[in-house]
């Protein structure tokens, strides 16, 4: 970052393309701050000494106005400030804009006091994130309880994680290694424990890790990962889509017609009953699942039940992954749906619980608590037990 060597480490390691772009901006701000601080303090010192009481400085013709000096000290700082603003705004828009098409997607749920992360193939991680070097990565984040903030200093990315709303950020790791991640929004009594590690791996090594479900046998040596299912999040979403009865209304094109088809919906504008239109992104899909009457698609009746409180955030993400898989009308998922099924076994045979048991599954999976018990303070040992429960996949 700095054009010269310093005897101490002043910055975290630079390990992403965004960090490489942000560090020069940060160094420029430091340089401007130092230059103007030294300039102003030097002039204050010079004038204080020259015109101190009792000095022989000529005060017979004091000057109280000079247009040239006023223009210089107004225009130059203004231009420098505007240049820094444009530079920073460009970086801000870039990191929070749409990621490249080949970006690897990771879903993250923040909860007191841990991070739950899931890859598209179903591999889960707690407080750990494994990534390939040199490949763009998109993070989609949401909170289960209070506001958190996901921060990886070496990548120079930080994103608020809010309850009830998805946020996203993307970056490209550039250097293999092990890097710290933090929650930088105070979220309760054990906020300082809410951290973890990011492991950036060579691509071939990551691919082996990814295909084996996080490690040999599907459980990492650190005990932080496990694999869910053979087909990942989209397959789990397809099972939920069938077990929750979604397929009876949201059929393929030319189906029953009681609800809009979901084939080719993701990323496309959806006309609403109120005359507006909304892009079917992750946030729109989440709201349509949990509170379907908030935005009614034109020409359809509000007959879909409310799933708020019946599905966990992870289950909503799984359904979203399945709807994304339906984005290609010629893809396997869309063809299966058009044939009247999702390619999954019924809930009783596939191990997917029925909606009657969804509350129990949710309580087991995310450690949901009633308002009274949610105020109780847990010890670090209790938190570790919750984390172990959180990542276990229970069979009926």
* Distance (Å, whole) CA 232 – CA 335: 19
Asked if residue 3 belongs to a domain, the reply is no
Same domain? 151 vs 240: no
Same domain? 146 vs 255: no
Contacts of 151 (CB under 8 A, 6+ apart): 157, 158, 159, 181, 182, 183, 184
Give the pLDDT of residue 35: 93
Instruction: Please report the DSSP string for 256-284 in residue order.
Output: --SS---TT-TTSEEEBTTS-EEE--HHH
Which residue, of 204, 227, 250, is where some domain finishes? 227
Asked if residue 4 belongs to a domain, the reply is no
pTM, full prediction: 0.65
Same domain? 144 vs 272: no
* Distance (Å, whole) CA 312 – CA 291: 14
Instruction: Name the strand (E) or helix (H) holding 89.
Output: helix 67-96
pLDDT tens digit at each of 396 positions of the chain: 555 455 556 678 889 999 889 989 999 999 999 999 999 999 999 988 888 887 777 777 877 888 888 898 899 999 999 999 999 999 988 888 888 888 898 999 999 889 999 888 878 888 999 999 999 999 999 998 899 999 999 999 899 999 988 898 999 999 999 999 999 999 999 999 899 999 999 998 998 888 887 664 334 434 344 444 335 778 888 888 888 888 778 776 655 567 888 888 888 888 888 888 888 888 888 888 888 888 888 888 888 888 888 888 888 888 888 888 887 665 565 556 555 555 544 433 333 333 333 333 333 333 333 333 333 344 444 444 444 444 343 333
Same domain? 171 vs 238: no
* Distance (Å, whole) CA 242 – CA 23: 49
Residue 70 dihedral angles phi and psi, to the nearest 5°: -65, -40
Buried residues in 336-369 as b, exposed as e (16+ CB within 10 A)? bbbeeebebeebeebebbebeebeebbeebbbbe
* Distance (Å, whole) CA 237 – CA 164: 19
Asked if residue 105 belongs to a domain, the reply is yes
Contacts of 368 (CB under 8 A, 6+ apart): 362
* Distance (Å, whole) CA 131 – CA 192: 24
* Distance (Å, whole) CA 280 – CA 381: 42
Give the pLDDT of residue 341: 53
User: Do 172 and 133 touch, CB atoms closer than 8 A?
Assistant: no
Give the pLDDT of residue 118: 87
The Cβ of residue 294 has, within 10 Å, a number of other Cβ atoms equal to 12
Same domain? 205 vs 279: no
Same domain? 222 vs 264: no
Asked if residue 5 belongs to a domain, the reply is no
Alpha-carbon torsion angle 54, 59, 60, 65, nearest 10: -160
Which residue, of 227, 245, 278, is where some domain finishes? 227
Same domain? 270 vs 215: no
124-126 and 137-143: which strand pairing? unpaired
Look up the domain containing 42 and give its range.
Answer: 10-227
Asked if residue 2 belongs to a domain, the reply is no
Contacts of 41 (CB under 8 A, 6+ apart): none
Instruction: Name the strand (E) or helix (H) holding 61.
Output: none
Give the pLDDT of residue 336: 61
Domain count, the chain: 2
Length of the chain: 396
Asked if residue 396 belongs to a domain, the reply is no
Give the pLDDT of residue 164: 85
Buried residues in 86-104 as b, exposed as e (16+ CB within 10 A)? ebeeebeeebeeebeeebb
Same domain? 41 vs 72: yes
Same domain? 217 vs 257: no
Same domain? 142 vs 92: yes
- Helix, strand or coil, per DSSP, at residue 143: strand
CATH of the domain at 118: 2.60.40.420
- Helix, strand or coil, per DSSP, at residue 108: strand
- Helix, strand or coil, per DSSP, at residue 139: strand
Same domain? 195 vs 252: no
Give the pLDDT of residue 338: 52
CATH of the domain at 292: 1.10.760.10
Which residue, of 227, 255, 271, is where some domain finishes? 227
Asked if residue 83 belongs to a domain, the reply is yes
Asked if residue 365 belongs to a domain, the reply is yes
Same domain? 42 vs 165: yes
């Amino acid at each position: 970052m700095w054009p010269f060597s310093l005897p101490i480490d002043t910055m975290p390691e630079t390990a992403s393309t965004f960090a490489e772009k942000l560090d020069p901006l940060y160094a420029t701000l430091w340089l401007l701050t130092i230059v103007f601080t030294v300039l102003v303090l030097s002039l204050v010192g010079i004038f204080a000494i020259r015109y101190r009481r009792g000095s022989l400085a000529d005060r017979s013709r004091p000057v109280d106005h000079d247009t040239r000096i006023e223009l210089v000290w107004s225009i130059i700082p203004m231009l420098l400030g505007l240049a820094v603003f444009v530079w920073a705004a460009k970086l801000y828009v870039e990191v929070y804009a749409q990621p490249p098409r080949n970006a690897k997607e990771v879903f993250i749920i923040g909860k007191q006091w841990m991070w739950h992360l899931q890859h598209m193939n179903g591999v889960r991680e707690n407080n750990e994130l494994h990534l390939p070097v040199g490949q763009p990565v998109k993070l989609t984040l949401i909170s289960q309880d209070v506001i958190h903030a996901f921060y990886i200093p070496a990548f120079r990315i930080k994103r608020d994680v809010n309850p009830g709303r998805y946020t996203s950020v993307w970056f490209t790791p550039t250097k293999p290694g092990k890097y710290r991640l933090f929650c930088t929004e105070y979220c309760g009594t054990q906020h300082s424990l809410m951290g973890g590690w990011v492991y950036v791996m060579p691509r071939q090594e990551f691919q082996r890790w990814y295909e084996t479900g996080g490690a040999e046998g599907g459980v990492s040596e650190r005990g932080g990962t496990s694999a869910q299912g053979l087909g990942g999040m989209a397959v789990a979403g397809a099972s939920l889509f069938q077990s929750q009865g979604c397929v009876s209304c949201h059929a393929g094109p030319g189906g029953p017609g009681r609800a809009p088809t979901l084939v080719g919906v993701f990323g496309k504008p959806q006309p609403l009953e109120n005359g507006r239109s909304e892009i079917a992104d992750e946030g729109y899909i989440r709201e349509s699942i949990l509170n379907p009457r908030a935005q009614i698609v034109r020409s359809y009746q509000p007959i879909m039940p409310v799933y708020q409180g019946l599905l966990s955030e992870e289950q909503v993400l799984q359904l979203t992954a399945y709807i994304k898989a339906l984005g290609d009308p010629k893809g396997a998922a869309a063809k299966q749906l058009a044939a009247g099924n999702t390619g999954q076994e019924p809930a009783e045979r596939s191990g997917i619980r029925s909606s009657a048991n969804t509350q129990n599954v949710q309580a087991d999976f995310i450690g949901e608590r009633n308002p009274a018990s949610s105020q109780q303070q847990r010890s670090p040992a209790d938190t570790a037990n919750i984390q172990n429960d959180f990542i276990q996949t229970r069979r009926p």
